[in-house]
Amino acid sequence: MFGLRGKKYVLSKRHFLLWILVTNIMVLLYHFSNQPPFKTVDSEEQTCPVSMYRKLKHNGTTSFLRPESNENKCSPKVNIMFMKTHKTASSTILNILFRFGEKHKLRFAFPDGRNDFLYPSPFRCSQVMDYKPGDCFNIVCNHMRFDHREVAKLLPPDAVYITILRDPVDLFESSFHYYHRAVPLTWKIRNQNKLAEFLNSPDTFYKKEAFNSFYLKNLQFFDFGFDNNLDVDDPYVTEAIASLSKHFHLVLLAEYFKESLILLKEQLCWSIEDVLYFKLNARRSSSVSRLTPELRAKAQKWNAIDWKLYHILTIHSGKRLKRMAWKE
């Protein structure tokens, strides 16, 4: 009798477990059958060029080019990336761009809460004030550590890329004096002529991992987003400079600043009034040291990558300046 009751108990338990299993399956089926339709996410990143392409495609065209007037040979350029470099008179160019942008109500990509884009960190779109993926801007020009892929996300495809470079020896001398209080590496130099002592034995004082050390070696190469401590013969240096040559339409020369503004005017198809300026952040002549030929040679060797960068990127602008001089 007890055996029969035991078998009934086992059967009842099995039926109960089967009922639970079936119920759970029905609940799951009901749950998934009532889910909202799954939304696929476009794998293409939301950038300004993508946004513009979709807008133009919606309007029945895929051309980014604006028709030029028959009366003029060119139309004023309003989409501009100015790569602001250190100690190169770049603040004056910045002032020109701000004035032009304000006059024509252009949209600037401004840093979020600072004067720069978290320099010396590499540039990211998220550093732009109120940025949303797909946003388009006319002008990007504040200090940054350049990254072309990130910058290109903010600008239309017809944007003009411009920068300004300076003789690396003069820039190094200026940077050494201007930033010495922000670079602890220079604090232990006791000689009255700190620059000369540093150049006579740079490896004694320089440590690449030290705070703000980038101000003391190949600063322009660093500003463009690359490793300033590479050997000048490293293939990566050549590749990096070649990529910059490809991306930048105009390289101004600080040594020929006024003449470079004429090149800027021509490149952007602006009026002469658009490039008028007041010189900003210039050092007093009394504060500019005069390096001996020996020290200049040492400074050039110490900043060999910047010298290579300067030489290659300014070739085209130099030729244009020479043609300009011949016409005069």
* H-run or E-run covering 163: strand 160-165
Q: Is residue 257 helix, strand or coil?
A: helix
pLDDT in tens, 156-188: 999 999 999 999 999 999 999 999 999 999 999
Going by the DSSP 8-state scheme, the letter that residue 272 receives in this structure is: G
CATH of domain 48-62+75-327: 3.40.50
> Is 140 in contact with 163 (CB distance < 8 Å)?
no
Burial 53-70 (b: 16+ CB within 10 A, else e): eeeeeeeeeeeeeeeeee
Please state, rounded to an integer, the average pLDDT across all residues of the chain.
84
Please tell me whether the overall predicted TM-score, pTM, comes out greater than 0.85 for this model.
Answer: no
Q: Is residue 146 helix, strand or coil?
A: coil
Nearest Cα to 100, choosing from 144, 43, 150, 141?
Answer: 141
> Is 89 in contact with 279 (CB distance < 8 Å)?
yes
- Report whether pLDDT(10) > 50: no
Q: Is residue 299 helix, strand or coil?
A: helix
DSSP string, 14-37: HHHHHHHHHHHHHHHHHHHHTSPP
pLDDT in tens, 266-319: 999 999 999 987 665 555 544 566 799 999 999 999 999 999 999 999 999 988
Residue appearing with tokens 């070649």: 242
For the CA atoms of 201, 206, 208, 213, the dihedral, rounded to the nearest 10 degrees, stands at: -130
From CA 79, how far away is CA 269, in angstroms rounded? 12
From CA 49, how far away is CA 136, in angstroms rounded? 8
Q: Exposed, middle or buried, 312 (CB in 10 Å: 0-12/13-18/19+)?
A: middle
- Report whether pLDDT(85) > 50: yes
Sheet containing strand 80-83, edge to edge, reads 139-140, 80-83, 160-165, 250-253
Question: What is the Cβ-side half-sphere exposure of residue 162, based on CA atoms within 13 angstroms?
Answer: 27
Q: How confident is the model at residue 31 (pLDDT cuts 50, 70, 90)?
A: very low
Q: Parse the chain into domains and list their residue ranges.
A: 48-62+75-327
- Report whether pLDDT(123) > 60: yes
Q: How confident is the model at residue 192 (pLDDT cuts 50, 70, 90)?
A: confident
From CA 67, how far away is CA 136, in angstroms rounded? 20
pLDDT in tens, 198-257: 999 999 999 999 999 999 999 999 999 999 999 999 999 999 999 999 999 999 999 999
